[in-house]
Structure 1
């Protein structure tokens, strides 16, 4: 027997947390029937899953084989470990159950054939999988089979806590490194890591690892695997307000970890290059690219001058639960109160990174249990959210890039049922373009802004083309995009109705008079909103105010 393979019963007692991972008690030393598919057997014994998707099997096999090459001991059920040692290829090439349900984002044989695999170092991987495709299993399963600890980097405290809750629900006790911990708490973490317990998982973010008190301990922790989740944040945030993300390559070197895997759901070729540059500075990384399409999501766009009003009206006709993403904390608070006035305060909440821990927890629990809830949030709630039945995602503000948009839009429909993602664009976003002075980030924002305004090309095809996937368009049906359904409009939603109304009543109303009418009947907006809308249409030439003294200020619609 290979000296790098240890029998699980030889190193883990029945009282270990790993011995109670599932109801079947997989790691109690009892022999269970092992299926021909070695990794599926491990998934079933550890997580109670009867099936692994092809890309999961591929990623897991690469990690475990990389662990063997690095001399890391693997620990698991005795028969399982013997089988993996004797025939590791079997783990990757096992027969696939043809009746197993494909995850969102996979279409028929694309779940296997749609994976692009480039040769490289098995110990270093970049993995791009669609949201809802089970990427956490790809690193958690190897982590629980390895003798050396696994370090998982998350961008947000909310994600760290979410992963902790999910692991603890399965009887696994992860370690959390975060700011504000006492010296005693830190010593407990260092002691646990040095014990080399089976399946030790350390959860942290880059900032805490870069602090001197943590940095000096990293070389002695014998980290076996480093996982960077939501790796696109290196490009999104590292070059702006999260400089610690640019230190991930140095963190990995300081840990001396032989296995490194970077996961993301969305990455265009330029972002992949950024990931390689900052996380794998030597350029050695095995790349697995799955088709990022989510065919159960209908992508739609709507132009609006009054964007809050547009969101209000959209929520009247779409299914819930719904998330409305905003670009700032202040806007989440303002929009949540605006929507609560119409839909009731019991149905609307707001969420951002500035809330207290207790407030976040209460809102998360409320939304997870809600069937009609509307959550107005910043990106702090976007990544890693695992509420499966979100039916609608609305973006009130244009995100900074296509990757960010798809990541957040992908919160919808993780149960595979039809869902909707709507991007609201307007004059405010023109100003947003002007604030991006860096050419790289301006281009990425511009791509998404142009996507919102277009009405002549399939939305799905455009989004996937930005990520380097050509030729994927909508399938006719309820989840086709608004362009493919013939419903797209490249104008602001208010323009046509108001211009036509003024054409029918030329020179009858002044801006204040028509604002009053808009408030009372036409749009149901406030007087201030109506006046702002009309002023903008005048400024942009859709409407015109007469200047002659007897018709001064009267509105008419010029020929265009």
Structure 2
């Protein structure tokens, strides 16, 4: 029976059908919220799961205290592991649009707070910030915005929440959801130089908020257990997506002088480029050298020792650049969300595998590809040998020295799934990274000039040859004596070369042993394959020695 037979007329008895396939999802308030505020038409499955858990808990549809619930249903207290660039922010910003009360978001860095505040303004989402150094009037104005519900988001860091007066005022604000971003810092930093992280469990209890979500992109089982213990007393629901970032291609380059290798890569690799330099001094030195090569408008440095205004100026400069190089410490590792970084270069290795994945994940957040390059030296290898075998720090060395898929080494360190490699240098070449090119250059020269030069003489000769070879990169000399001396020092320590005794005292030579590293195909020029030659007697003295022994 059709509608006419029943006496029903479209447009009279019921509205005209105007929806099409594209509008089918618009009855979903979550999708409508992100579409209207952020212009995003689609949420990934893991995002929807996390958001649904938050909404169900905050709106009272789940009772997290009920003993009848299975552990996997404790969605009010959850740790969410999503890879960098997978849209973690949407998982707490979207519920904030829909909940009656404000959402407190705890960030590790002021730079990250500033960046998120900017992004929220772009999405017409009002936020207030609590940080150190604010006046009484500034904080009262912030609380007024919370009270009249014009501000949906509260941004803070762990240190400012140590203020009990501020904490008690926040407890009166009916906070609906607490989101802790970069939650691996609870373990990595809380147990060392930022003990305020260890008090976040107390903060959660004081605020009496039943819905708490800890977000991170990287967490090994050890880190996960520690975060769960500190924040939730060990009772937590874990939501984990695929940890792999297939659009990041991992590569390790062996280099005895990593600074010079980094400078050469900065001149040749795709931009924008982020160079992690390890220390504040190294980041400034690297930036100054690169400025002389490419110009001051293309290079900046960034570290925690800069003032807030200085860091903000650098963030704004880098954000809009397409050909820039930023030399930074880990202070930028969880900083501004710049989506089009094409190369992430580590001159100094990260202290843990979680830190490395986090920092490498700064690249390719626009979904395109990026190169993550780690420089590794003989000094790094020797330092790694002293680390405990099963430590998180040792995992970085296993990654750097691996002869199997580097991507899988990282995933194994996180306790994650097996993955098909979408791009790493080991899989591409079907073997480990080759011996350091700069060290091989020196070795070949020494091999051709055994016992002819002292360290100083050898350094002077090598630097001239290297600058001649690389002059086309920048148009002028880039190698210094200290660079070559660093290579020679490590070669001596690795026993690839040695200083002679009398009558060639102080002269540099290579081992004469049959299977010396530079002669045999059986022994490749890789760190750790050094040979200890027997003590040799100069040929012209051999007869005299035999006479004396007789």
With normalisation by structure 1, the TM-score equals 0.80
Choose which of 197, 220, 227 in structure 1 pairs with 2:179.
227
1:349 aligns with 2:296: no
Contact 1:389 / 1:414 at 8 angstroms: preserved in 2? yes
Map of 1:522 onto structure 2 = 466
Q: How does 1:11-30 map to 2 (within 5 A)?
A: none
Contact 1:130 / 1:265 at 8 angstroms: preserved in 2? yes
Map of 1:49 onto structure 2 = 40
1:169 aligns with 2:122: yes
Shift of 1:311: 0.5
Map of 1:259 onto structure 2 = 211
Choose which of 361, 385, 400 in structure 2 pairs with 1:452.
400
Choose which of 483, 486, 497 in structure 2 pairs with 1:532.
486
Q: How does 1:40-119 map to 2 (within 5 A)?
A: 40-69=31-60, 119=72
Give the Cα–Cα distance (whole angstroms) in 2 for the partners of residues 471 and 412 of structure 1.
22
SS of residue matched to 2:374: strand
Distance 1:62 1:71, change over 3 A: closer
Map of 1:276 onto structure 2 = 228
Contact 1:228 / 1:263 at 8 angstroms: preserved in 2? yes
Give the Cα–Cα distance (whole angstroms) in 2 for the partners of residues 345 and 35 of structure 1.
49
Give the ranges of 4+ consecutive aligned residues of structure 1 lying more than 4 Å apart after TM superposition. 430-436
Q: How does 1:546-557 map to 2 (within 5 A)?
A: 546-549=500-503, 551-557=504-510
Q: What CA RMSD, in Å, does the superposition of the two structures yield over aligned residues?
A: 2.4
Shift of 1:537: 1.2
Map of 2:538 onto structure 1 = none
Shift of 1:134: 0.9
Shift of 1:58: 0.8
1:39 aligns with 2:30: yes
Map of 1:463 onto structure 2 = 410
Distance 1:171 1:238, change over 3 A: same
Shift of 1:482: 3.8
Distance 1:531 1:71, change over 3 A: closer
Deviation track 1:351-398 (CA, whole Å, cap 9, x = no partner) reads 011212221122112111222111000111111532111100011111
Map of 1:240 onto structure 2 = 192
Which deviates more, 309-318 or 264-273?
309-318
Give the Cα–Cα distance (whole angstroms) in 1 for the partners of residues 384 and 187 of structure 2.
18
Map of 1:507 onto structure 2 = 451
SS of residue matched to 2:350: coil
Deviation track 1:217-274 (CA, whole Å, cap 9, x = no partner) reads 2322221110000001111111000000011111111111111000001111111111
Q: How many residues align?
A: 475
Give the Cα–Cα distance (whole angstroms) in 2 for the partners of residues 239 and 429 of structure 1.
25
Shift of 1:198: 6.6
Contact 1:474 / 1:481 at 8 angstroms: preserved in 2? no
SS of residue matched to 1:133: coil
Q: Which runs of 5+ in 1 are unaligned?
A: 1-31, 73-116
Larger radius of gyration: 2
Q: How does 1:303-342 map to 2 (within 5 A)?
A: 303-342=254-293
SS of residue matched to 2:218: coil
SS of residue matched to 2:138: helix
Contact 2:442 / 2:462 at 8 angstroms: preserved in 1? no
Give the Cα–Cα distance (whole angstroms) in 2 for the partners of residues 198 and 286 of structure 1.
32
Q: Which runs of 5+ in 2 are unaligned?
A: 1-22, 64-69, 468-477, 517-530, 532-550
Choose which of 159, 179, 199 in structure 1 pairs with 2:112.
159
Contact 2:253 / 2:373 at 8 angstroms: preserved in 1? yes
Deviation track 1:388-425 (CA, whole Å, cap 9, x = no partner) reads 11100011111111111001101111112221001112
